[in-house]
């Protein structure tokens, strides 16, 4: 018998009515007439710089192919997770995402009392917006939970951006609903059969997140706005 998850009703009028749009290679959300960058766009600036060496070593064509393949794998696995949590019939039949979902399932079963699932939020304090995978109780503690896929087992130092991403969502939730979330959870299923779970305290990542936001705005203003104004 399929597991049935409990969902907690929230005031949806507090959430933004926006889907976001791409501008100058970054995703922005319209929040009360102001353009807030997405969490992934903000964190992507530093990640792009870190990945440049990898791209140079294998070539742009191969790198772009691998990025598309990974994005497709992640999207299909996300869909399976969302359908499972909602009690819906899985629509995916591809072997790889099904296998990765099965790796993740025992950890997903530790989730209950779900507050949000694939929900867009924002923070005026951080001038940031984004779509959160899941907010719910993980082993009985309210958490921001993110579902990831990878080629192989990840070292913790490689996934710091995931901790920053979920910290941002925790801050957004507290700002919108007045309830603090201290725990962030990252679940990573690997193509090599590795399954990893990272459970962290968001307090450790608030300052690094703010540094990344400042870095994004500096980069955006210098590289993008100046380029546009000169054309």
Examine the pLDDT at 226 and tell me if it is beyond 90. no
Cross-strand bridge partners of residue 21: 28
pLDDT band at residue 1 under the 50/70/90 scheme:
very low
How many Å apart are CA 123 and CA 149, to the nearest integer? 27
What are the extents of the domains in the chain? 26-222
Longest Cα separation, the chain: 62
pLDDT at 46: 72
Q: 25-34, 43-52, 155-164, 207-216 — which is least confidently predicted?
A: 43-52
50 vs 208, more confident: 208
Sequence-ordered strand ranges (E) for 38-172: 111-123, 128-138, 141-150
The yes/no answer on whether domain 26-222 falls in CATH 2.60.40 is no
DSSP class of residue 152 equals: S
Q: How many CA atoms lie within 13 A of 108 on its CB side?
A: 28
φ and ψ at residue 167, rounded to 5 degrees: -60, -40
Radius of gyration of the chain (CA): 18
| DSSP letter for each residue of 165-222 | HHHHHHHHHHHHHS----EEEEEEEETTS-EEEEEEEGGGGHHHHHHHHHHHHHHIII
pLDDT at 57: 74
29 vs 47, more confident: 29
How many Å apart are CA 120 and CA 54, to the nearest integer? 31
Examine the pLDDT at 225 and tell me if it is beyond 80. no
- Average pLDDT (132-155) is 96
Model pLDDT for residues 154-194, shown as the tens digit of each residue: 999 889 999 999 999 999 999 999 999 999 999 999 999 99
Give, rounded to a whole angstrom, the gap between the first and last alpha carbons of the chain. Answer: 61
How many Å apart are CA 219 and CA 118, to the nearest integer? 28
- Average pLDDT (91-97) is 88
pLDDT at 50: 62
Residues 6+ apart with CB under 8 A from 167: 144, 184, 202, 205, 206, 209
Cα-Cα-Cα-Cα torsion 81, 84, 89, 94, nearest 10 degrees, comes to: 30
């Amino acid at each position: 018998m399929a597991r049935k998850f409990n969902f907690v009703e929230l005031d949806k009028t507090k959430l933004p009515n926006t889907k976001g749009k791409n501008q100058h290679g970054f995703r922005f959300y319209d929040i009360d007439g102001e353009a807030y960058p997405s969490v992934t766009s903000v964190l992507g600036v530093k990640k792009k710089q870190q990945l440049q060496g990898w791209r140079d070593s294998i070539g742009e064509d191969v790198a772009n192919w691998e990025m598309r393949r990974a994005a497709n794998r992640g999207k299909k696995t996300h869909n399976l997770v969302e359908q499972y949590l909602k009690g819906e019939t899985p629509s995916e039949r591809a072997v790889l995402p099904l296998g990765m979902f099965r790796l993740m399932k025992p950890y997903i079963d530790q989730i209950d009392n779900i507050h949000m699932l694939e929900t867009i939020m924002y923070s005026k304090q951080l001038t940031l917006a984004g779509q959160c995978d899941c907010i719910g109780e993980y082993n009985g503690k309210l958490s921001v939970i993110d579902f990831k896929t990878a080629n192989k087992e990840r070292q913790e130092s490689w996934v710091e951006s995931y901790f920053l991403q979920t910290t941002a969502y925790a801050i957004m939730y507290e700002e919108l609903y007045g309830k603090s979330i201290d725990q962030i959870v990252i679940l990573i299923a690997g193509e090599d059969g590795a399954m990893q779970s990272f459970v962290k305290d968001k307090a450790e990542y608030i300052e690094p997140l703010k540094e990344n936001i400042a870095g994004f705005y500096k980069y955006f203003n210098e590289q993008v706005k100046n380029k546009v104004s000169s054309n």
